[in-house]
Amino acid sequence: MLYYLFDWINRLYAPPGFDAFRFITFRSGLAVLTSLIICFLFGPKIIRKLKEHQIGETIREEGPERHKAKAGTPTMGGLIIHLGVLVPILLWGDLKNMYVWLAILVTVWLGIVGFIDDYLKVVKKYPNGLIARYKLMGQISIGLIVGVVLYNSPEFDGIETITTLPFIKNLNWDYVYWWIYIPVIVFIITATSNAVNLTDGLDGLAIGVVGISALTLTIMAYVSGHIEFSRYLSIVYLRGSGELAVFLSALVGASLGFLWFNAYPAQVFMGDTGSLALGGIIGAVSVMIKKELLLPVFGGVFVIETLSVIIQRLYFKYTKKKYGQGRRVFKMAPIHHHFELLGWEEPKIVTRFYIIAIIFAILSLVTFKLR
pLDDT tens across 245-292, in order? Answer: 999 999 999 999 999 999 999 999 999 999 999 999 999 999 999 999
Q: Is 194 annotated as a binding residue?
A: no
State in Å, rounded, how far the first CA of the chain is from the last one: 38
Report the 10 Å Cβ neighbour count for 230.
21
The predicted pLDDT at position 69 comes to 73
Residue 200 CA to residue 163 CA, distance in Å, equals 29
Residue 113 vs residues 78, 122, 133, 213: alpha-carbon distances, Å: 12, 14, 12, 22
Q: Is 272 annotated as a binding residue?
A: yes
Buried b (16+ CB within 10 A) or exposed e, 349-362: bbeebbeebbebbe
Parts of the chain with a pLDDT under 70: 57-63, 65, 370-371
The predicted pLDDT at position 234 comes to 86
The predicted pLDDT at position 59 comes to 66
Q: Tell me 119's DSSP state.
A: I
E strands present in 124-213: 162-164, 172-174
| Nearest of 347, 335, 200, 224 to residue 278 by alpha carbon | 200
The predicted pLDDT at position 63 comes to 67
In sequence order, the β-bridge partners of residue 163 are: 173
Report the 10 Å Cβ neighbour count for 4.
13
- Mapped onto helix, strand or coil, the DSSP state of residue 162 is strand
- Yes or no: say if 305 and 206 are a contact pair by the CB < 8 Å rule: no
Residue type, 53: H
Residue 316 CA to residue 190 CA, distance in Å, equals 24
Residue type, 355: I
| Nearest of 9, 62, 19 to residue 312 by alpha carbon | 62
- Yes or no: say if 282 and 196 are a contact pair by the CB < 8 Å rule: yes
Residue 118 CA to residue 51 CA, distance in Å, equals 15
The predicted pLDDT at position 164 comes to 87
Report the 10 Å Cβ neighbour count for 158.
5
Residue 83 CA to residue 258 CA, distance in Å, equals 11
- Mapped onto helix, strand or coil, the DSSP state of residue 123 is helix
Residue 219 CA to residue 337 CA, distance in Å, equals 32
Buried b (16+ CB within 10 A) or exposed e, 253-263: bbbbbbbbbbe
Q: Tell me 265's DSSP state.
A: S
Residue 329 CA to residue 102 CA, distance in Å, equals 40
Q: At a CB cut-off of 8 Å and minimum separation 6, what does 142 contact?
A: 105, 106, 109, 110, 189, 280, 284
The predicted pLDDT at position 60 comes to 67
Residue 230 CA to residue 217 CA, distance in Å, equals 14
The predicted pLDDT at position 108 comes to 98
Residue 156 CA to residue 138 CA, distance in Å, equals 25
- Helices 346-370, 205-224: inter-axial angle, 10-degree rounding: 10
Residue type, 365: L
- Yes or no: say if 106 and 284 are a contact pair by the CB < 8 Å rule: yes
